Amino acid sequence: MPPRRVTLMVFALSALLHLYVGMRLLPSIEPEGVWAAAAYLLLAASALLVPAGLLASGLRSLRWSDQLSWAGMLAMGMFSSLLVLTLMRDVTLLILALIGGAGNGFGRGSAIAVPLLALAATLAGFFNARRLARVVEVDVPIPGLPKSLHGYSIAQISDVHIGPTIKRSYLEAIVARVNALKPDAIAITGDLVDGSVQRLSAHTAPLANLAAPDGTFFVTGNHEYYSGASEWIAELRRLGLTVLNNEHVVRERGGDGVMIAGVTDFTAHHFDPSQRSDPRAAAAGAPANVTVRVLLAHQPRSAEAAAAAGFDLQLSGHTHGGQFYPWNLLVPLQQSFTAGLNQAGAMWVYTSRGTGYWGPPKRFGAPSEITLLRLVTA
């Protein structure tokens, strides 16, 4: 479909959804004078900003493209809650009408409550998204773990999404907090960037300061393929990260080896057939002293193949834990796990809620995290 037609469809859909919200709320609120003009103006502005924010990535030559992204993403965060709450209000009104319990007072009161609740959720979500991610500590019990590897720690960050609204200072704070944990190894499980190396290299530079005795490891997420995966792989290697494309390294403690392997994103073959995700290839050729096998895989749905390949633990991201309601309800339709520590057969899977955010600077019910995972004897 031609880009121009796609753009027109996006703006048309935004206009229709905003028209629905306006028609369902404003007649009940009955704003007058300046308040009425302000309400219609805000809806019209939002109807333009939401698609503009989505399409701003194609307007990088414009001087104010980042500012447009900020405005559009904020509007999207607000409107998503406004739309969901309007739908919930309409369902409630329909149920009350069927049982004969809806009155004019409820209709007007609920119409006023919807934008107020949407604003409150957006402000709270903005604070949660922009603050430094909390540290989540997780012990992973591994059967037969040798004493030399008991307590082996991996700090995981995922889904930072450096781009229009996440810049260098945001990443610097993450790097400082990760280094303060003093992990044995650091894992970055994809979706690090939203943009080209040329545009974002100054903002990803702090990654060179990540420090762990066994190294910092990276695997691609789907967003790396939207942003030029081969260029980013080269840039991250230049910064000193070890990029694992269906391969592994082995680190030892007291003669016992821990394998840290990584696969390309689950959908990588759609962008580059030579980079099909392959856990078996990632584990191939492991030395005999390997007693624990850890796989970095951006999407949780790599778990079935990873378990079949003999891994003990998979570290993933991608889901953002849903990021904010109601998207958390949709994640299970695509992914095996939404967040936290789960099992796929005999293998553990840890799914990070993400360290940054994508799209609207908004997190509600799914706080961002930096994860410190420790291998412990089962």
- Tens of pLDDT along 266-288? 999 999 999 999 999 999 999 99
Cβ-contact 157, 188 below 8 angstroms: yes
Asked if pLDDT for residue 101 goes beyond 70, the answer is no
d(CA 224, CA 217): 15
| One-character DSSP codes across 15-82 | HHHHHHHHHHHHHHH---HHHHHHHHHHHHHHHHHHHHHHHGGGGTTSTTHHHHHHHHHHHHHHHHHH
pLDDT tens per residue across span 107-162: 889 999 999 999 999 999 999 999 999 999 999 999 999 999 999 999 999 999 99
Q: Are strands 347-351 and 340-344 parallel, antiparallel or unpaired?
A: antiparallel
Count of alpha carbons within 13 angstroms of residue 226, beta-carbon side: 13
Strands (E), the chain: 134-142, 153-157, 185-188, 216-218, 242-243, 247-253, 256-262, 290-296, 313-316, 340-344, 347-351, 369-377
Please say if the pLDDT value at position 368 is more than 80.
yes
Structure letter (DSSP) for residue 253: E
Topology classification of domain 134-377: Purple Acid Phosphatase; chain A, domain 2 (3.60.21)
Average pLDDT taken over every residue of the chain: 93
Torsion of CA 228, 229, 235, 240, to 10 degrees: 160
The pLDDT of 205-230, averaged and rounded, is: 97
Q: DSSP 3-state helix, strand, coil percentages of the chain (rounded to 5)?
A: 50, 20, 30
Weakest-pLDDT range from 98-102, 114-118, 152-156, 200-204 = 98-102
Domain ranges of the chain: 3-130, 134-377
Alpha carbons 9 and 54: distance in angstroms, whole number:
12
